[in-house]
Structure 1
């Protein structure tokens, strides 16, 4: 589904929600209490700014006695997305964020991946997939990167674990180009990348990837991801914990200057390996 049509569809979802809520004589806060989200989020759903997760849509159907219309609409919109179900909302939110902070413990973040690196990662996790499927996933990942080229791009802070720089995903040539790409983005000041050295040992986010998102007109959100699933976190107390974990990672990371030097050194080493094979 094209991005423009997707936005229009979610706006329609929001308009329908407002109409059904008002017909039931419920305020946003009253509906929010019954479906376990804040009234603020009900308002964001109605504006088409935020997309409710499936379980929230199901609870709205029950409270408003709609016969499942919101669940069916939500499923249809999610199925039309090129992303995994658990990542669909995150991709939408990234495009609205004013600031993104990300920790990558094992793989280069999607917003920084070259097409070759993305293809190697996707193929490794989907060894029996068709070439068409692989290319669709790679294209959707690369397409997300348009937010870094926009004049209103978000501040983008990234912490990568040193192991991420040293794992030869796709082979030394692919990895050399990947690290050179990151270095170029850093030098252009499109992203600020720091490296968490291996000597750090245990660190504040041992569970996996962590992303924090800030917005001009919405509460901050956190997102965590493991190998097979992801979780979008809206609860203010949980988001605060995630922010603290990220702050601890930032303290343990190398300086931006030392990090860039390490990235460029690793790229040079991969380039040397590629030339000898």
Structure 2
């Protein structure tokens, strides 16, 4: 339902953090944002991992922070996908209906020298899953989500189109 943290802009991350922690001081909010932006530098590493993201179409239209923040976020997302060969994104369209990740988000991590693990998270907590049978169940569900999603090319077009819609809304506000 939201853009993955590694691909967020500071404004989008700030709006999400404020929504999750409405009574937090500005300093706490900015600390969360700084941490998220520092993690995103992982994508700048010469040994950056392949990042394959399936993002629900709802994330493209949920007005986090308002039209200007969303236009900036979606433009940034499209630029990251277009300019980074190790970043692949697919949009899971509304027409796909119910899917295994309707109730949660997860990150499947595969390594060359260790078993795969899954990290699930919500606004207030996360959990690392190492149990091989459960990791395999998540992997299979992820494969089904990728199969139901738009192609990477069609996904990039959809993201760019949504960005234009928010930019138009911003100018009409």
Distance 1:267 1:158 in 2: 18
TM-score between the two structures when normalised by the length of structure 1: 0.61
Query: Offset at 1:190?
Result: 4.1
2:103 is equivalent to residue 211 of structure 1? no
Deviation track 1:80-106 (CA, whole Å, cap 9, x = no partner) reads xxxxxxxxxxxxxxxxxxxxxxxxxx1
Structure with the largest fraction of helix: 1
Q: Structure 1: where are the runs of 5+ without partners?
A: 1-105
Q: Is structure 2 residue 91 aligned with structure 1 residue 195?
A: yes
Preserved contact between residue 93 and residue 150 of structure 2 (Cα < 8 Å): yes
Counterpart for residue 39 of structure 1: none
Structure 2 residue aligned with 1:228: 124
Match for residue 167 of structure 2? 271
Question: Are 2:132 and 1:258 equivalent residues in the alignment?
Answer: no
Q: RMSD of the TM alignment (CA)?
A: 0.9
* SS of residue paired to 1:207: coil
Question: For 2:159 and 2:36, how far apart are their aligned partners in 1?
Answer: 22
Name which one, 1 or 2, has greater alpha-carbon Rg. Answer: 1
Size of the aligned set, in residue pairs, is: 172
Q: What runs of 5+ residues in structure 2 fail to find an aligned partner?
A: none
Aligned counterpart, 2:138: 242
Give the SS at the match of 2:77: helix
Q: Is the 8 A contact 1:161 1:195 kept in 2?
A: yes
The aligned counterpart of 1:133 is 28
CA contact (8 A) 1:207 1:226 kept: no
TM-score norm. by structure 2 comes to 0.96
